[in-house]
Amino acid sequence: MPHEHQDGCGHESHDHDHEHDSPELGFQDNLFNHIDRQNVVVLNSDGLAADIIKPWHARLDENKYVESDADDQLIIRVPFTGSVRLRSVLLKAGPGDQTPSKITLFANEPTLDFDDVTDKKPIQEFDVPQGRDVGEYAVKTAKFSNVSNLTIFVPAAQGADATRIYYLGFLGTWTETKHQPIIAVYEAQANVADHEKIQGMDGKWAAPGH
């Protein structure tokens, strides 16, 4: 899937705070069941999104993964089934120089692609260290408090021709989105008796047009 490149990302600030895998990490507030998994999209890969959107118990499985195709860039669009207050992104990638150099996050940009991603400033971005554990990347929750769709952009690998991701997960709280029905009443035929009357020239009340 060819696409154009631009040198540099234009963003200087990076976040380095992340935690490594632990038995307790991911159980509480795991958003796996609130991801619209059938509509997750991965751009520049022949792999299936379902191969990396895994339940917590399968997070260390390396038999299934997504790998970039034309080059080392990836875009992953993740829709949720409601409104999410995101707390952390969970990521297992690699090995070695196939690890993303960083990940950049965009909220509620469901159509973001390679043509415009480099022109937009991400809400937050993280450097990704090499390793075989699941890393937790804590986001600035105030900036991800009402997320219906999260887009993750990987601009490059750490030296390899392709980027590989084994697991992508999220921690946070989910709220059902309630849509209020719109009720409209249409009048099939005007009833003169139901309309306000106006005063005629003769001092009597008459319906409009009379």
Residue 199 lies in a domain: no
Q: Length of the chain in residues, anyone?
A: 210
Question: CB of 3 within 8 A of CB of 144?
Answer: no
Domain hosting 109: range is 18-175
Looking at residue 13, its pLDDT comes to: 40
Residue 6 lies in a domain: no
Residue 142, classed as helix, strand or coil, is helix
CA atoms of 67 and 70, how far apart (whole Å): 10
Looking at residue 178, its pLDDT comes to: 74
Residue 9 lies in a domain: no
Looking at residue 118, its pLDDT comes to: 87
Residue 194 lies in a domain: no
Residue 23 lies in a domain: yes
CATH number for the domain spanning 40: value is: 2.60.120.470
Residue 147 lies in a domain: yes
Domain count, the chain: 1
What's the pTM value of the predicted model, to 2 decimals? 0.74
Residue-wise pLDDT tens for the chain (210 aa)?
Answer: 445 443 333 333 445 455 555 554 556 799 999 999 999 999 999 999 989 999 999 999 999 999 999 999 999 999 999 999 999 999 999 999 999 999 999 999 999 999 999 899 999 999 999 999 999 999 999 999 999 999 999 999 999 999 999 999 999 999 997 765 555 555 555 555 554 544 544 555 444 455
Residue 167 lies in a domain: yes
Residue 208 lies in a domain: no
Contacts by 130-133 with C-beta closer than 8 Å and gap 24+? 130/94, 130/95, 130/96, 130/97, 130/99, 130/158, 131/20, 131/94, 131/99, 132/92, 132/94, 132/95, 133/20, 133/21, 133/92
